Each structure stands twice: as C-alpha cells, then as structure tokens.
Copies of this chain bind each other. A is one copy, B any other.
Amino acid sequence: MTTRTALLDAAEHAARTRGFDAFSYADLSRAVGIRKASIHHHFPAKADLAHALISRYRESFALSLKSICEMNETAGARLSAFLDSYRSALSGGEAVCLCVAFSTGRDSFQDPVLAELDGFHRDCLAWLENVFTQALQDKSVSGAGAADAEASACLALVEGAQLIARAARDPRRFDDATTVFRGRLVNRN
C-alpha cells in the first residue's frame, strides 16, 4: 500500500462520510500518519486530490458495472445487483457514494473535477438505460416503461435513498425506499 493510495483511501472515506469540504489536510495527516505538508507532495492542491478521487472512483465503478453484467444475465438480476452495490456503499448508514458526496458539494470544484463527475453520471445513466432496454425484451422487470425515463428514475431513487439513509444514520431507510422497485424485479438469473 503506497502512501498515495492510503491518502486516497482516507480522503474517500472522509468525503463519503462527512463531505469533501468537511475534511482538511490536517485530518488526512492524522489518519495516514505523515505531516500535513507532505500531503502537498502527492496532491499539490486539494483540487488535485478531488480530481484523483473522482477519477479513481469512476474507473472502479465502471469495472463494477461490468462485473455485474458478467455475473448476471437478466435485466432484473442486474438491477438487483445494482441496488445491492448502492446499498453496501452505505456501510452502516455512515457514508454515501462518492458521486452523491461530490454532487452535494459541487460548488467547491472546478472544471476538470466537474467534467469527471458529469462523466460518472453519464456512464451510470447509459448503463442503466441499456439494462432497461434489455428489460423490455426479457420481461424481467414488471411494468417497465421507456428505458431512458426508467434509468433517470432509478438513479434518482438510489441516490435519494442513500441521502435519506445517511441522514437518519440507518441503512434500513434505503431498503424502505427501494422496496417497491425491488418488487418489480423478476429475480431469476
């Protein structure tokens, strides 16, 4: 584990539990065990850290979506796995996904970071739209409408459910909010 990776991990955890603006280089230095100034060696400005964080997250999320497709055949099973991944990102109701964390504090960011954030959203919506298009064929999602509308609704639902669960520090709120949607998924694989 390199120092750089340790810094990214600590920063991601802090951003997801408290928000990107709510942790300082001093916090990071305590968490990782190097001096505050040394962090600037790895990430000269906090904006550089933000960019590294979101782009690493975007890559790993793309891999995770790919793996969901490999391990699940039907649209219903894929969406169910998608819900699971957002649910597990809550980690006990303490955290939200980095995308939600960055969305809420968007003003602090400049172009390169914003572009990456928008890219993340686009990736995610495109994947969902694909899966909902598939659902129209394989009938594994009951009452499925237009794929693009379903995709937008699905993303808003999971992000809103995360927000509410974290606000209440209770991951069951996520389950409550996604019960109806889960009921629409035909879970054969």
Contact = CB atoms under 8 A, between A and B. Distances in A.
Interface residues of A, number: 44
Contact of A150 (B145, B161, B168, B180): B180
21 contacts: A19-B21, A21-B21, A21-B22, A22-B107, A100-B163, A104-B104, A106-B166, A121-B164, A121-B168, A146-B180, A149-B176, A149-B179, A149-B183, A152-B173, A152-B177, A153-B157, A153-B177, A153-B179, A155-B164, A157-B157, A158-B160
Interface in A114-160: 117-118, 121, 143, 145-146, 148-150, 152-153, 155-160
Nearest to A142: B143
A47 to B, nearest CB: 16
Interface string A175-186: 011111101000
A173 B155 CA distance: 11
Interface of A: 17-19, 21-22, 100, 102-108, 117-118, 121, 143, 145-146, 148-150, 152-153, 155-161, 163-164, 166-168, 173, 176-181, 183
Q: How many copies does the complex hold?
A: 2
Contacts of A118: 168
Nearest to A101: B104
A176 B148 contact: yes
A103 B166 contact: yes
B159 A22 contact: no
Contacts of A105: 19, 22, 104
Nearest to A159: B160
